[in-house]
Amino acid sequence: MPEHLSLYIHVPFCKRKCPYCDFFSVTDLSVVPAYVDGVCKEIRLWADLAGVWSRMPVHTVYFGGGTPSLLSLDQMRQILDTVQHHFCLAAGPEITVEVNPGTVDDAFLAGLRHLGINRLSIGAQSFDPQKLSYLSRIHTRDQVFDTLAGAARAGFANLGLDLIYGLPNETPDVWQKDLEAALGCRPVHLSCYMLTIEPGTPFFDRYENSSLFPCDRDRRTDFFVQTAEVLESYGYIHYEVSNFALGKEHQSVHNSWYWERGGYLGMGPSAHSFFPLNPGGPSGRQSGPVRSWNPADIHAWLNHLAAGCLPGSGYEVLTPVQERMEKVMLGLRTKTGIPAKMPGPDTHALMVRLADEGLGVFFYPPKTYPGSQRFRLTRSGLICLDSIVEAFVWKMM
């Protein structure tokens, strides 16, 4: 059995919806008190019902959203107290809160630190006023700097910054200035995401009616290479396709746990949970890993809880083939890659076949890592991650 558990708490509130975002959140803040009571109830229910999982040391807690920094300090304390009361925290857990500039002040940041939060992920997205306006962000460039300075004053050393690139009219110069502004603040972690046009968002509607033209493949490649070259030249480790850290100790433990397919419980509307080993029911018969998810609807989620039930709206048991595919998809995103030996088809033989077919430039051959017994993608491979994974998965079937 795995040794640790992670908790994800989805805080589904935003001041305003950003037109590119497909995460579940609502702007009706009158539901916040009911949500806080609900999420505490869900934590208690999971602790009662998750059996062996609920007794594992929790090594990461992640408040994501939405905009968790819209909760008050008292509400954050209520949730954290419930976690601590019903789960066993590992020594030195990583506790992260996503924070949006324009929603916090110094007193709030100091309060978070006082509560034991030790990592902030700051949703800056950009320092460029035109990009911020295009993305309909609620904050200004100055508020990003203020948030970073306030977090440092509050004693947060473990600070991450999220940035978005690849807007329709963005130039490499604009992106370079964004990167340089971020580097000037020297955050220990940077997440740089390519803008994607997600179905169901206002940006997707604009794309469908031909009033928004996303970056083409060549420009996406150029932005990706620019990002990796600039950040690596400043000492950041490109440890996942979109993530960079100033040293291994600053890599996100929580997100790395996802990519390693560790077990986690998700609380809040739309949150997912994952059990990599299913200990089985009363018969004790094991089945494949299980993934479950909550409804992406705050009232449906609250109704389940009011009835005293865990608010899951669906689950799937992964087949061995799905499990292998998932290991490849998640593993190849990271610098760690995938093991040369996995249950099922011979990974090494598959890689050799892909190399024979001319795809060798996309991954490091095993001889680069004698004894490491792992494969990982080169930068060229990361650029076309989806196609490589698809080719690999086809060969595994």
The residues of the shown chain that bind ligand SF4, judged by CB under 6 A, are 14, 17-18, 21, 23, 25, 65-67, 100, 123
Determine the Cα angle at 243 with ends 239 and 244, to 5°.
70
**Cβ closest to ligand SF4, residue 10 vs residue 304:** 10
**Cβ closest to ligand SF4, residue 67 vs residue 227:** 67
**Cβ closest to ligand SF4, residue 16 vs residue 85:** 16
**Cβ closest to ligand SF4, residue 102 vs residue 214:** 102
Report which residue's Cβ sits closest to ligand SF4: 21
**Which of 232-246 are b and which e, b meaning 16 or more Cβ less than 10 Å from the residue's Cβ?**
eeeebbbbbbbbbbb
Phi and psi at residue 78, to the nearest 5°: -60, -45
Task: Give the integer Cα–Cα distance in Å for 70 and 103.
Answer: 6
Q: Which of 229, 161, 188, 215 is nearest to 379 (CA)?
A: 229
**Cβ closest to ligand SF4, residue 6 vs residue 25:** 25
**Cβ closest to ligand SF4, residue 18 vs residue 325:** 18
Task: Give the integer Cα–Cα distance in Å for 236 and 228.
Answer: 9
The answer to whether the CB of 38 falls within 8 A of the CB of 108 is: no
Nearest distance from C-beta of residue 349 to ligand SF4, angstroms: 42
Task: Give the integer Cα–Cα distance in Å for 217 and 397.
Answer: 28
237-240/243-245 β-pairing: antiparallel
Task: Give the integer Cα–Cα distance in Å for 139 and 136.
Answer: 9
Its sign, for the CA torsion 8, 14, 20, 23, is positive
